[in-house]
């Protein structure tokens, strides 16, 4: 996080301040690394791309790369990480009248829609994030890292839900359980996205997510046989 949205050093006061040259250069380098990495990953695959390649594509030493990203996985997942942050932001601003489940569902739809409208193409865009998802699914270590990130995100969701409803997640299990269920439904939708590639663009993904959500009730209740 601190690396993703860094602050100019100093008191919390100077938030809107234009960061100095040093800070801007860092942002640039980081961005360039992400870009270069994505291009290489998508063209020749994740495993067959070495960190050295990425670094030298940006004219930076390998050591520097590892000062920006803890490992090769992280640079691949950087774009998704931003999207996840935005989702949390959406969740924080849902009206209090909504049911927790409704708030989650509305947030994820809004997040996808906004990001879809924001920048239609180019690196760091939604479409490249979607390509990324396919890549993740068949690069074992990458998938593993991604799943780990997702569960960390779930922890945050638990916190936000608990605050919102004013209860202690250590006593009341509902936030934990709901966050877990929500995460699993999303993951199922993602998987389904990578499998059949029917729907196109963010709207297709949103539709898929909705369809999965609609099956939550039916899946949990009664028998399924006709």
Partner DNA sequence: TTGCCGAATGTCAGCGGCTGACATAATCTG
Partner DNA sequence: CAGATTATGTCAGCCGCTGACATTCGGCAA
The binding site for DNA (CB under 7 A) comprises: 9-10, 20-23, 25-26, 29, 49-52, 59-64, 66-68, 70-73
Looking at the Cβ atoms of 122 and 140, the one nearer to a second copy is 140
CA distance 145 to 157: 19
Check the CA dihedral 67-38-114-140 and report its sign: negative
Is residue 100 near a second copy by the rule CB under 8 A? yes
Smaller CB distance to DNA: residue 26 or 174?
A: 26
Q: How far apart are CA 69 and CA 76, in angstroms?
A: 10
Q: Which two tokens stand for residue 141?
A: 């270590």
| Nearer of residues 50 and 215 to DNA, judged by Cβ | 50
Q: Is 140 in the site for a second copy (CB under 8 A)?
A: yes
For 26, half-sphere exposure in the C-beta direction (CA atoms, 13 angstrom radius) is 15
Rounded to a whole number of angstroms, the minimum distance from the CB of residue 143 to a second copy is 6
106 binds a second copy (CB under 8 A): no
Tokens representing 181? 């269920």
Residues counted in the chain = 226
Main-chain dihedrals φ then ψ at residue 200, nearest 5 degrees: -115, 135
- Footprint of a second copy on this chain (CB under 8 A)? 99-101, 140-141, 143-145, 147-148, 151, 165-167, 170, 172-178, 180-181, 183-185, 187-188, 191-192, 196, 211-212, 215-225
């Amino acid at each position: 996080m601190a690396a993703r949205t860094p602050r100019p050093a100093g008191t919390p006061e100077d938030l809107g301040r234009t960061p100095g040259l040093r800070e801007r250069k860092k942002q640039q380098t980081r961005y360039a690394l992400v870009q270069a990495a994505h291009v290489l990953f998508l063209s020749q695959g994740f495993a067959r791309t070495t960190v050295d390649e990425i670094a030298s594509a940006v004219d930076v030493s390998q050591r520097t790369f590892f000062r920006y990203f803890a490992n090769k996985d992280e640079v691949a997942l950087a774009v998704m990480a931003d999207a996840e942050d935005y989702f949390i932001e959406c969740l924080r601003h849902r009206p209090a009248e909504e049911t927790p489940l409704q708030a989650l569902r509305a947030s994820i739809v809004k997040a996808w829609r906004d990001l879809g409208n924001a920048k239609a193409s180019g690196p760091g865009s939604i479409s490249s994030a979607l390509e990324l998802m396919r890549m993740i699914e068949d690069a074992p270590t990458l998938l593993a890292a991604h799943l780990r990130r997702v569960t960390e995100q779930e922890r945050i969701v638990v916190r936000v839900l608990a605050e919102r409803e004013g209860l202690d997640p250590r006593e009341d299990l509902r936030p934990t359980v709901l966050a877990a269920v929500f995460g699993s439904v999303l993951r199922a939708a993602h998987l389904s996205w990578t499998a059949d590639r029917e729907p196109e663009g963010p709207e297709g993904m949103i539709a898929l997510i909705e369809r999965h959500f609609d099956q939550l009730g039916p899946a949990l209740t009664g028998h399924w046989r006709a």
